[in-house]
Amino acid sequence: MHPLEGKVRIILTDTLPRPIPRPEGISFADSLCLQSQFLEVHQHFEKVKDDYDSAMRKHLLAGRSYSSFAYNWAKIAKVLKLQFAGELEPMIRQELLMQYMEMASLKPKNFDSSFVRLNTGSIPHSSLAWVYHGSTALHANAYHPRGDKYLQEILSKHPSRSFRAMLLSELYVTATMQHRQHECIRLFHILTTEYLDTPGGKMTASGPKPSKGLRVGMKFPKFTFTSVDDPKVNYTNDDIMGKYTLLDFWATWCTGCVAQIKFIQNAYDKFHGQNFQILSVALSDTPERVRYFRSKHWVMPWLNGIVRENETPTVVLTYDAGTPRPILIAPDGTIIAMDAPLWGELLERTLSKYLGKTK
């Protein structure tokens, strides 16, 4: 490349995903310029989040539970508030406030929501700083004086179309996990018509269309789930034919799922010799985490499958899956019970209707 008169023209487009970290070797001629200061402030917080993730991993690898993990955010929160109070540049003030707001998703003990509510009104819906904080913008209505109207302005009027599409796709995945089919259909239509030229729109369009959801009386859709214990083994519909099967979507990080395992184990102990089997399918997890969980907590001596993280959105839509979600399937592949009748102590009662009394 031969720059003209020592200058290079760089054209940015928001139709492509942009990396947040500063690429190695890029520097600013003026280290005091707004762009340089902004990026330095942002990258410092990214480092803080990396440290948090590292501490979380060490905690879990030590065999401790997710619910017992605590991280000391007090010092970080105090520094952010002091920086915000002493900062005059609006863009950097917005970045600092968004960092503080993002901490809410990491569940700090002493999160000062009044501080956020007092200052969020100063952030315009068009702020480019939102791009650096992803789905945090989706929670802005909880703090902004204009509430849901402010969030709708971000979703419809933010200058970055790819950012708007990313937020909409986040809402779309959430709606699928919560089985809100009408909302799934609405968001799917928006993403695949108005935002088809963005990564969020393309990703949504390439996946399955939202279904009307599973219901009792219908055949369970065809599936293929990889075995946790042997990646060469796949579980399919053939494996559930001829037996009553409890198909349980779960995850090691899901508190409700883990609490349910006690009741699933009891059901297994009482019914597994009576034409009954269990297939647990982990969502948004890894084989290593599942195997570690089983070695330290519950053995789960039944069929164990897994859905890789990058496949989760497709599986959620196709099988109306979520965590936790139990589904009881008859020997002919028909769904005969879902959700509430299979929770807690009701699980054994429901199974007794089809399998008779316990041993």
237: pLDDT strictly greater than 50? yes
Residues 344 and 304 placed together within one structural domain of the fold = yes
The answer to whether 341 and 303 are in contact (CB under 8 A) is no
Euclidean distance between CA atoms 165 and 158, whole angstroms? 10
pLDDT one-digit tens code per residue, 42-96: 889 989 888 988 888 888 888 777 778 888 888 899 999 999 999 999 999 999 9
Residues 47 and 170 placed together within one structural domain of the fold = yes
Euclidean distance between CA atoms 281 and 264, whole angstroms? 13
Residues 140 and 74 placed together within one structural domain of the fold = yes
Q: State how many domains the chain has.
A: 2
5: pLDDT strictly greater than 50? no
Euclidean distance between CA atoms 332 and 238, whole angstroms? 10
One DSSP character per residue, 107-145 reads --TT--HHHHHHHGGGS-TT-GGGGGGGGGGGGGGGTST
Query: What's the confidence (pLDDT) of residue 106?
Result: 76
282, part of any domain: yes
Residues 202 and 233 placed together within one structural domain of the fold = no
Query: What's the confidence (pLDDT) of residue 322?
Result: 72
117, part of any domain: yes
184, part of any domain: yes
Query: What's the confidence (pLDDT) of residue 331?
Result: 95
Query: What's the confidence (pLDDT) of residue 18?
Result: 41
pLDDT one-digit tens code per residue, 296-316: 889 999 999 998 766 776 777
Using CB atoms within 10 Å of the CB of residue 16, give its burial: 0 to 12 exposed, 13 to 18 middle, 19+ buried: exposed
Summarize the confidence of residues 261-284 as an average pLDDT. 92
Higher pLDDT, 47 or 4: 47
43, part of any domain: yes
Residues 197 and 243 placed together within one structural domain of the fold = no
Tokens 């349910």 label which residue? 260
4, part of any domain: no
Summarize the confidence of residues 206-235 as an average pLDDT. 84
Query: What's the confidence (pLDDT) of residue 340?
Result: 82
26: pLDDT strictly greater than 70? no
Query: What's the confidence (pLDDT) of residue 13?
Result: 45
What is the domain extent for residue 77?
Answer: 34-60+70-206
Residues 77 and 196 placed together within one structural domain of the fold = yes
1-10, 102-111, 153-162, 256-265: which has the minimum mean pLDDT? 1-10
pLDDT one-digit tens code per residue, 187-218: 888 998 899 899 988 888 877 667 656 788 99
Query: What's the confidence (pLDDT) of residue 245?
Result: 95
| Position 134, amino acid | G
One DSSP character per residue, 194-214 reads TSTTSHHHHHHHHSPPP----
26, part of any domain: no
Q: Listing from the earlier edge strand, what are the strands of the sheet with 303-306? A: 234-236, 224-227, 303-306, 276-282, 244-250, 325-329, 335-338
Summarize the confidence of residues 107-113 as an average pLDDT. 81
Residues 239 and 168 placed together within one structural domain of the fold = no
1: pLDDT strictly greater than 70? no
CATH value at residue 323: 3.40.30.10
List Cα–Cα distances, 340 to 182, 216, 245, 260, 314, in angstroms: 21, 12, 16, 12, 24
Euclidean distance between CA atoms 217 and 206, whole angstroms? 29
Higher pLDDT, 16 or 83: 83
